[in-house]
Structure 1
Amino acid sequence: MSETIKIIQPASTSFPIVQGERTADLLSRFTKLDNDERENLLNETTSILSQCNNPVETVGSTTGITIGYVQSGKTMSFTTLTALAIDNGFRIVIYFAGIKNNLLEQTTKRLKKDLLTESDNSRFFKVYQSPSIKTNGHNDIKGALKLNRKPAILITVLKHTKHISELTEIFKTIEVREALGNNGVMIIDDEADQASLNTYARKNSKSEDWEDDEFSSTYSNILELRTSLPNHSYIQYTATPQAPLLINIMDLLSPKFHVVLTPGKAYTGGKTFFEDNTDLIKTIPDLEVYHHKHNPLVECPQSLIEALQLFLMGTAIVVNIQEKENFLSMMIHADREQDASKKFYNWVSNIMDNWSNRLGLPDNDPSKIELVTEFYNNYEDAIKRIDNPPTFDEVMNEVSQVLLDTNLELVIQGSREIDWSNATSHILVGAEMLNRGYTVEGLAVSYMPRYSISKSNADTIQQRCRFFGYKRNYLDSCRVYLPLDSILEYRDYVEHEEIMRTILKENSLEAVEQLLILNGSMNPTRSNILSVDVVSHKLNGWRQMNALQHIDENISFVSDFISSHTFKDFKNFGTDDRNHRYVKLEIGKVIEFLKDFKIMNMPDALRKSSTIQYLRYLAEKKDIKEAYIFEMSYAYDISKSKGTSLIDSKGGLKLNNIFSGRSTSGKEIYPGDKGIRFEDSLCVQIHKIKVKHNSMQWDKKVLYTLGIYYPEDFAHSFVGVEK
């Protein structure tokens, strides 16, 4: 391998970025990309890395989102990001590789293949799939961290509460913590809008406070893993960012920066099919649209027979005659129920056997003549986009061979891995296993008679688009069979997607966060990850936060904030612990303060994120332009404090009560800390706290935390994400 090639230093990064030997080696092996595509891949990967945390002995975390098209090369992007991250000081990369074992295996094998872990590069990368303490994973990782050659440690894990929890336990062990120190870890969350997000958010909006909330187990475990890593960058990859962008913008999994990926020149996506080449889309008649309750078909639909014949002829032309591809595939995705998949599989199996037998009969056999006539009726469609097409007889001679060399697979839980190179054609019949993240190689014909009786989710219908991808070489033989309603939905989605990508390319996330343009027939995403009614239930009166993580960062931040603003005394109550001061700021400045004050526990992170949305809503809808930040007891010597108790709460720790009560003992009646406010304005109190606890870790520890006052008059229904 060569030495470091060049420094590629974006203006925004806090550490020098180099294209090192691992990145250069990887890029050199992407032979299907031309020079422009390789350069673009490197530039976009550099843009992602430049916004990550400095990986060398620092403390902190950040979250970003990388947005591509479905089947557009996101895996290539995060593999390149892996190499570049390792070249620039990251020691560990963790991959959340989907929610099904086949996706975990797919990702692990792809990483090993692309990074040559089984040959020349094996000393540079160590790959661990689903490590746990039971399998001695902590000792393996500790040993790898201590090796002199400093290999990169790549960890693939199922996006499942059990597996993430087991990984967290590894990073909590003393040996791994000491070996890792504050060196950088990167977490790559593939298909980030699936499973990672808190699916209880809508339900939680009805509870009285975030302390009472429930959190989906995967979401909770991801947050716990992040808390165990002192220096990490969390990068979400998705083609359907509606959910990450619509969750409260400062939620712990909500992105702080974004990069929109550019697909390669051979990519064929929604625009290709639903705008530029609409003749490739075929309508499944309403009576042939399958639904396990409303239309459980009893015999193979004619449209599927037509699709099979077009696929076989297309394969005969592209693979056997033109030799442009080694194989082609067909996907049949009928319904989420496995019984439906088995029904369609049996139909196709019987049809293929029947056709193979009949084509082997003498040419004058009536049964063969009838079948050949059926194929002939679809021949014009099969060749309509092909220059200098082969004759019908040439095609049929090869169709009989394709039938003999077709691999028919039922793709359900527990099904075998497909050997793509072992057949001329593959026909995959399946349900949810063929959904998001699953790569159907060489996919030419898709048959998807999914029946919908209600509004579809934009991100869900898009993730069924396995027929997108790098198909330019055989696009003329591609066909997509869909019900009319689905075709209309996809056309709407493609319009929405292009608008969304344009907006994302031209704006910051703050400007984009709620700006998703959708046709009224579609929901943007699954409803249970969106918050409603949080103002009337949770954003009223006084609330406190428990900032028990990132203590040193918050002390530094608050000190800088206070020194850079001019505060006014609120009122003299006679003693230092009761005298406070405040600054009046524009809403945008208050939002900046809240964004930069670190919170890493779930209830308070949700409070903080909702407060930010609420402030934006008030500024936009109620013409409220300012709010107040108070420095409480600004002249008080905190060492003299008796301390604020730290108590157990739901298995964790929280500050008992940060607000001092009402008092009549002095010259002036003290109204209590909750009386230090402006009645008609949102007020944030900065409290400097000395902790009282029976442990050496916490007792006498000094930290900053916040109290927030939400005026009762503002506690009406919040509609920020319901517009």
Structure 2
Amino acid sequence: MGDAFDDNYETFKALLDAFPPSEAVKRLELFGIEQDVVQRIRDRHEQETVRIKELEEPHAVVLGNRDTWYTGPQAKDKCWPAIECELRKAGWPQSPAIDDLDNSSTRVVSLLNHPKEKSFSTRGLVVGYVQSGKTTNFTAVMAKAADRGYKLFIVLAGIHNGLRRQTQARLVQQLVEPNPSMWSQLTGLDKDFTPQENPASYFGKNNKTHVLCVVKKNATVLRKLARWLEKASDYLGDCPALIIDDEADQATVATKSINPLILSIMGSLPKSAYVGYTASPFANLLIDPGADDLYPRDFVVNLPKPAGHFGTEVLFGRYALDGDDPDQVDDGHDMIRSVPEDDVPCVRPATKADIEGFEPVITETLRAAVEYFWLVTAARRVRGTGNPHNTMLIHTSVNTSVHNSFHRPLQHLRDTAARSMQDAGFIARLRGLWDRENDRVLAKEFGEEKVLFDQLVEKLPGVLQSCRVIMDNSSSEDRLDYENGPVVAIAVGGNTLSRGLTLEGLSVSYFVRAVSAYDTLLQMGRWFGFRNGYADLPRIWMTDELAEWFRHLATVETEMRRDIDTYMTEDETPLTFAVRLRTHPALRVTAAAKMRDAVTAASSYGGKRVQTHYFHTNADWLRGNIKAARTLVAASVAHSGRVDERPEDGRYVFHQVPHDLVVDFLSDYRFHEKSPENDADLIIGYIRKRVSSAGSLQRWNVAIVGNPQGDDFAFGSGVAVGRNTRARLKTNDVVADFADIKTLMSRRDAGVDLAGDVSPLTEKAIRELRQSELPTSGLLVLYPIDKVSEPGPDKKLRAPLNAEEDVIGVGLVFPEPQYEDSTVEKYISANLANVRIEDEDYSLVDSEEA
């Protein structure tokens, strides 16, 4: 019975390739299949459809609520099973790696149009992580689309030959070689697109093969392809095409040549689906949705982060977002090493005028980075596992002559090291470096065995002998080539190494390049990815400012992905919501040209929790804040309706304090300029608008939270609590007059003014309780912080605060707005004002010019 049912179900799925579900069911009935079996088949199909829609990962935002036509691979498929087989041979585990790839690629294909539709023009976006396997994902998507009848596959593979060649090789290996009779190729390993004579030989009815074309985003190449497709128009009416745009934020958006050419190519294909892939989707999310452009109007998909992936947050940590428990927000791994600002002019010209004749200096930090790379390579040879290649990246400038200037001093450093292998002082320095790094990052925490210095030192002469110094840039013929045996290389480069291209076995990075935008900075992070067999060994040398920028980026990424996931549950579409992108005082979100259609998004303080984590450490600044805090406490004692005193817990709460006392405090308290979310003028303006327009925030609860074990801090008026300890994030080059403690408030503190013990409650439960008990009251929490604040023994990434005076931290908790809320401008987003939606099916009807 089971076999008969399965056979009939496979027949039904085969019918779905040609007919919609209702028509397929009717055909089953015409075959004489019994009603109860037909009903079971319908039930199973509905369950499969729901499974696709409700996959936990990836999360997606979709245009409309259309039923998916694709429910997963079938027994007759050939392309996807070949990829599965290839991945198993490469050592991929079925669970979770292959299963996750199967689920996420199925989700993407399910959002494409059925290839039998008469015409379609789909636009979607897939958001991955840097170096996380996006190529493997879109290869799987192509395979599954091919198995269902998509004919033409165009892959836009970045702007450099290296990435295009790498992508072509991957697709040939995983798609073409397992099924050579099923594929025709318009491009080759060393050959970008050149027009073929006879389009009919590729697209005519007699040719059943799939057509693969991997091209650079280069105007000359794309123009040739567009013209050739125009000539082939007689054969394209029944040619469902899938266009994959790898690194979709690069060159595609707001360019005068590339963008129109991509649109022209799509215009010549009556049935086309455009899917952009990127880890830095900022520009794509800011395209004008009302224009005939590539805004992802049909769907946005978040790919899950693969197990074992090193991403921004894993390495740099991030700041707490609203709803986070700070105790659960990790600081990241202790793998970042500080490059002093004084070193930067030694490795990068200060101005354009300094480029000519520039000679880099091998500073102590650069020497340590290079020597550590040699030690890592030797240690990996001792282990004998994982990727056979070993690469170091040095990226200080975009200028090719600067890259080339590193060649001689790096070779001299290598040759000197090779001659010093019998020098006791040199060996002692290497031993000290290795032991210090092993102590800071423990191998056992990553499931690895510690390699002792005496084990690896025997491998060092061979490492130095095989180490090459490679200038990989547009002016050099030298290139990283991982196809001809194991590589040990120090690669100095710029843009050719900054996007898409995988640096195999990358273990050490020295990065001080100045950039101005989120997407550029994130894509520079070639150190993101997988480090199987040496997850404990990677290190990154960079300035403290750059490390803070990456930490901010990790926060932006997390918040952006939460937006996508949240809107998925709220019946939104890419045309009814715009993903918000948190701004930064020193960085643009993307290039100015790509933001010309963006708007400043309104983001309310309503229901939010705001806290200070940046502080100056000089005495004058801190004394001013102490004075403001003591003034507020004195006023609260005099004007509050009720006081809860719990000095044994380090807690005081003054209830029903008039809002003007809070406003006066915020006017006197000085927030650090690096905290745009802590803008006193915006907060004060928000409070006053809520008071005047909605009648809320007229009364506040002012709390003091201290540590009962700390030394007393006196606020005056008989109020004193123990000082809190908040260590700063560690830097080797301690910046004068600045400290970042990263997080201040705990989940419990956000409910310090509520009745009963809230510590067992979740963040959501505390928020709901606040809304029930205190729907119109704000909460302001003062934290006296010990000026020394030694970190605990388990806080490896922390250093003593060492401020000149005690620090006053401030947390603010705002109630949910009951009416239309006043807003605060903190984000940018796409402008949806010119998009008109037909309410019934959410389809894009037209665009109105402003």
Report the TM-score when normalising by structure 1.
0.67
Cα 1:88–1:17 shift into 2, 3 Å: farther
> What's 1:613 paired with?
833
> What's 2:271 paired with?
231
> What's 1:667 paired with?
none
Q: Given the alignment, which residue of 402, 424, 428 partners 1:373?
A: 428
| Structure 1 segment 519-668 matched on structure 2, within 5 A | 519-531=584-596, 612-614=832-834
Residue 138 of structure 1 and its aligned partner are, at CA, apart by 4.7
> What's 2:85 paired with?
28
Find the residue that maps to 1:389 and give its secondary structure: coil
Q: Given the alignment, which residue of 361, 365, 379 partners 1:303?
A: 365
Q: Given the alignment, which residue of 110, 119, 139 partners 2:170?
A: 110
Cα 1:490–1:611 shift into 2, 3 Å: closer
* Higher mean C-alpha deviation, range 251-260 or range 423-432: 423-432
* Higher mean C-alpha deviation, range 296-305 or range 257-266: 296-305
* Higher mean C-alpha deviation, range 511-520 or range 523-532: 511-520
Separation (CA, whole Å) in 2 of partners of 1:709 and 1:348 = 57
Cα 1:393–1:475 shift into 2, 3 Å: same
Q: Given the alignment, which residue of 188, 193, 205 partners 2:249?
A: 193
Superposition RMSD in Å: 3.2
Residue 447 of structure 1 and its aligned partner are, at CA, apart by 0.8
Residue 55 of structure 1 and its aligned partner are, at CA, apart by 1.5
**Which stretches in structure 1 are left out of the alignment for 5+ residues?**
200-215, 535-608, 617-625, 628-704, 711-723
Separation (CA, whole Å) in 1 of partners of 2:195 and 2:259 = 25
| Structure 1 segment 270-669 matched on structure 2, within 5 A | 270-275=312-317, 276=330, 277-289=332-344, 290-294=347-351, 298-359=360-421, 363=422, 368-384=423-439, 385-387=442-444, 389-413=450-474, 415-420=477-482, 422-423=485-486, 425-451=488-514, 456-507=516-567, 508-510=573-575, 512-531=577-596, 612-614=832-834
**Which stretches in structure 2 are left out of the alignment for 5+ residues?**
1-6, 14-47, 54-65, 318-329, 568-572, 600-828, 839-844
| Structure 1 segment 688-699 matched on structure 2, within 5 A | none
Deviations 1:90-121 (A, max 9, x none): 00110111111111111111111122x34x42
* Higher mean C-alpha deviation, range 75-84 or range 349-358: 349-358
> What's 2:196 paired with?
137
Cα 1:378–1:611 shift into 2, 3 Å: closer
Q: Given the alignment, which residue of 254, 273, 277 partners 2:295?
A: 254
> What's 2:41 paired with?
none
Find the residue that maps to 1:65 and give its secondary structure: strand
Separation (CA, whole Å) in 2 of partners of 1:133 and 1:499 = 39
Cα 1:372–1:100 shift into 2, 3 Å: same
Deviations 1:393-444 (A, max 9, x none): 3222211111112233210125344332523522211111111111101111
Separation (CA, whole Å) in 2 of partners of 1:391 and 1:349 = 27
1:198 is matched by which residue type in structure 2?
A
Q: Given the alignment, which residue of 241, 244, 256 partners 2:284?
A: 244
Separation (CA, whole Å) in 2 of partners of 1:109 and 1:30 = 15
Deviations 1:294-344 (A, max 9, x none): 486642122111011111111111223454442321111110001111122
Q: Given the alignment, which residue of 229, 248, 263 partners 2:305?
A: 263
Q: What is the aligned length?
A: 519
Contact 1:5/1:24, CA 8 A, preserved across alignment: no
Deviations 1:215-245 (A, max 9, x none): x011111111111111100000000111010
Deviations 1:62-88 (A, max 9, x none): 100000000001000110011001011
Find the residue that maps to 1:397 and give its secondary structure: helix
Separation (CA, whole Å) in 2 of partners of 1:146 and 1:383 = 63
> What's 2:816 paired with?
none
Report the TM-score when normalising by structure 2.
0.57
2:363 is matched by which residue type in structure 1?
P
Separation (CA, whole Å) in 1 of partners of 2:377 and 2:67 = 49
Separation (CA, whole Å) in 2 of partners of 1:42 and 1:329 = 31
Contact 2:369/2:510, CA 8 A, preserved across alignment: yes
> What's 1:682 paired with?
none
Residue 709 of structure 1 and its aligned partner are, at CA, apart by 8.7
Separation (CA, whole Å) in 2 of partners of 1:113 and 1:24 = 14
Separation (CA, whole Å) in 1 of partners of 2:848 and 2:157 = 39
2:189 matched to 1:126?
no
Find the residue that maps to 1:53 and give its secondary structure: coil
Separation (CA, whole Å) in 2 of partners of 1:179 and 1:709 = 35
Q: Percent identity?
A: 26
Cα 1:327–1:490 shift into 2, 3 Å: same
Contact 2:163/2:501, CA 8 A, preserved across alignment: yes
Cα 1:417–1:300 shift into 2, 3 Å: closer
Separation (CA, whole Å) in 2 of partners of 1:78 and 1:229 = 20
Cα 1:134–1:519 shift into 2, 3 Å: closer
Separation (CA, whole Å) in 1 of partners of 2:443 and 2:495 = 34
Separation (CA, whole Å) in 1 of partners of 2:830 and 2:369 = 49
Separation (CA, whole Å) in 1 of partners of 2:192 and 2:136 = 31
Separation (CA, whole Å) in 1 of partners of 2:832 and 2:435 = 59
Find the residue that maps to 2:186 and give its secondary structure: strand
> What's 1:182 paired with?
238
2:565 is matched by which residue type in structure 1?
K
Separation (CA, whole Å) in 2 of partners of 1:520 and 1:355 = 43
1:88 is matched by which residue type in structure 2?
R
Deviations 1:479-504 (A, max 9, x none): 01111110010000001101111211
Contact 1:55/1:232, CA 8 A, preserved across alignment: no
Separation (CA, whole Å) in 2 of partners of 1:198 and 1:297 = 37
Cα 1:403–1:147 shift into 2, 3 Å: farther
Separation (CA, whole Å) in 2 of partners of 1:44 and 1:709 = 37
Separation (CA, whole Å) in 2 of partners of 1:233 and 1:400 = 54
2:114 is matched by which residue type in structure 1?
N
> What's 2:146 paired with?
86
Contact 2:560/2:579, CA 8 A, preserved across alignment: no
Separation (CA, whole Å) in 2 of partners of 1:471 and 1:479 = 12
Q: Given the alignment, which residue of 68, 71, 75 partners 2:131?
A: 71
Residue 17 of structure 1 and its aligned partner are, at CA, apart by 4.8
Cα 1:6–1:98 shift into 2, 3 Å: farther
Contact 2:184/2:211, CA 8 A, preserved across alignment: yes
Cα 1:318–1:147 shift into 2, 3 Å: farther
Find the residue that maps to 1:237 and give its secondary structure: strand
Separation (CA, whole Å) in 1 of partners of 2:137 and 2:460 = 38
Separation (CA, whole Å) in 2 of partners of 1:182 and 1:149 = 12
Cα 1:708–1:84 shift into 2, 3 Å: closer
2:257 matched to 1:217?
yes
Contact 1:318/1:325, CA 8 A, preserved across alignment: no
1:62 is matched by which residue type in structure 2?
T
| Structure 1 segment 52-67 matched on structure 2, within 5 A | 52-56=112-116, 58-67=118-127
2:585 is matched by which residue type in structure 1?
G
> What's 2:223 paired with?
165
Cα 1:610–1:473 shift into 2, 3 Å: closer
Residue 170 of structure 1 and its aligned partner are, at CA, apart by 1.2
2:214 matched to 1:156?
yes
> What's 1:695 paired with?
none
> What's 2:643 paired with?
none
